[in-house]
């Protein structure tokens, strides 16, 4: 297997101990497990917003501990459950994220395309403060997807969605990521969605740290 991310001997604060992990490149890997098994923490470890207390993580064969974290987070993006959008239009939020990276923001049609892809069917001039929490999360995801990372990590992206919308979102994401060669990693509690859309499944259990 061509692993884009791998981990061995990984522990977090000596509270969570992970099994050996390999994430296949260009595929959809879903992470499941009981509460406290370290699912969301694993995503944060993968893009160095959290640091392991033991073990090693490799991204494209390079140890994360020796990598520039800003450069890493441009290629391994995490759309967490904590949504960071400010009051203003959706377009203005797109512009702000691209400004952070000193990159040119997509045009109106492209923004609309990413919004539709993420089941956030709003005009770019819609104001974010009028959206619900779930709607904001999908706009947040659309911004991340538009940045074309090598790895896109999603933490419970369907928690606020009905079954039909969740299936539409994952169907569209899977097609887009396959076309663009994006590896996506999803923490998901819905076993029906996991079985339907995962190319690979990592099931975590609580493992006592040393």
How much is the pLDDT for 210?
39
CB 57 within 8 A of CB 119: no
Query: How confident is the model over 66-89, as pLDDT tens digits?
Result: 999 999 999 999 998 888 999 999
The rounded mean pLDDT for the chain is 93
How much is the pLDDT for 207?
61
**pLDDT band, residue 14 (cuts 50/70/90):** confident
How much is the pLDDT for 187?
96
Contacts of 148 (CB under 8 A, 6+ apart): 180, 182
Count of domains observed in the chain: 1
**pLDDT band, residue 159 (cuts 50/70/90):** confident
Percent of the chain with pLDDT over 90: 88
Structure tokens at 93: 């939020």
Query: How confident is the model over 180-202, as pLDDT tens digits?
Result: 999 999 999 999 999 999 999 99
Question: 30: domain range?
Answer: 3-163+183-204
**pLDDT band, residue 1 (cuts 50/70/90):** low
Instruction: Examine residue 169 and state whether it is found in any structural domain, yes or no.
Output: no
CATH of the domain at 151: 3.40.50.300
CB 186 within 8 A of CB 31: yes
Handedness of CA 191, 194, 200, 201 (dihedral sign): negative
- Expressed in angstroms, the distance from the first to the final Cα of the chain is 30
Instruction: Examine residue 177 and state whether it is found in any structural domain, yes or no.
Output: no
207 or 35: which carries more pLDDT confidence?
A: 35
Instruction: Examine residue 172 and state whether it is found in any structural domain, yes or no.
Output: no
Report, as an integer, the average pLDDT of 101-114: 96
Instruction: Examine residue 136 and state whether it is found in any structural domain, yes or no.
Output: yes
Q: Which residues pair with 17 in a beta bridge?
A: 11
Instruction: Examine residue 72 and state whether it is found in any structural domain, yes or no.
Output: yes
Nearest residue to 88 via CA among 137, 52, 124? 124
**pLDDT band, residue 209 (cuts 50/70/90):** very low
Instruction: Examine residue 170 and state whether it is found in any structural domain, yes or no.
Output: no
Instruction: Examine residue 155 and state whether it is found in any structural domain, yes or no.
Output: yes
């Amino acid at each position: 297997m061509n692993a884009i991310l791998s981990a061995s001997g990984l522990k977090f604060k000596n509270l969570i101990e992970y099994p050996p992990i390999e994430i296949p490149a260009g595929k959809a890997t879903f992470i499941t497990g009981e509460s406290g098994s370290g699912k969301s923490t694993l995503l944060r470890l993968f893009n160095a917003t959290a640091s392991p207390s033991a073990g090693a993580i490799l991204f494209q064969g390079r140890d994360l501990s020796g990598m520039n974290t800003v450069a890493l987070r441009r290629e391994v993006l995490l759309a967490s459950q904590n949504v960071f959008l400010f009051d203003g239009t959706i377009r203005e939020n797109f512009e702000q994220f691209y400004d952070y990276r000193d990159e040119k923001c997509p045009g109106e049609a492209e923004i609309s395309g990413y919004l539709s892809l993420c089941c956030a069917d709003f005009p770019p001039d819609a104001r974010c403060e009028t959206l619900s929490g779930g709607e904001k999360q999908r706009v947040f995801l659309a911004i991340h997807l538009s940045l074309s990372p090598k790895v896109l990590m999603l933490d419970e992206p369907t928690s606020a969605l009905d079954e039909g919308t969740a299936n539409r979102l994952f169907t569209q994401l899977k097609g887009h990521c396959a076309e663009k060669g994006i590896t996506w990693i999803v923490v998901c509690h819905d076993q029906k969605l996991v079985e339907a859309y995962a190319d690979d499944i990592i099931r975590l259990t609580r493992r006592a740290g040393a």
